[in-house]
Amino acid sequence: MSQNVATLISGVVVLLSIFLIGRKLRISPRYERRPRELNLWSSLDKGIDPSDVD
């Protein structure tokens, strides 16, 4: 029983450590998934025809 409690406590400590470290180390904005502006290349990904000029 005491071994199960120790394993549970260790798991909680590891998960909290991972969570806190992940919050502290932010990914650089250059690795964002969405581009900030819609260019011809990203418009193709969104299904917009770039040859259709307004």
pTM (predicted TM-score): 0.46
Q: Number of helices (H) and strands (E) in the chain: give both, helices first.
A: 2, 0
Q: Of 23, 52, 29, which Cα lies nearest the Cα of 40?
A: 52
Res 51: pLDDT: 77
Res 1: pLDDT: 84
Helix/strand/coil for 32: coil
Q: Could you tell me the residue ranges of all domains in the chain?
A: 1-26
Res 50: pLDDT: 72
Res 16: pLDDT: 94
Dihedrals φ, ψ of 2, to 5°?
A: -70, -30
Tokens encoding 10: 């260790």
pLDDT in tens, the chain (54 residues): 889 999 999 999 999 998 888 877 776 666 666 656 777 777 777 777 877 765
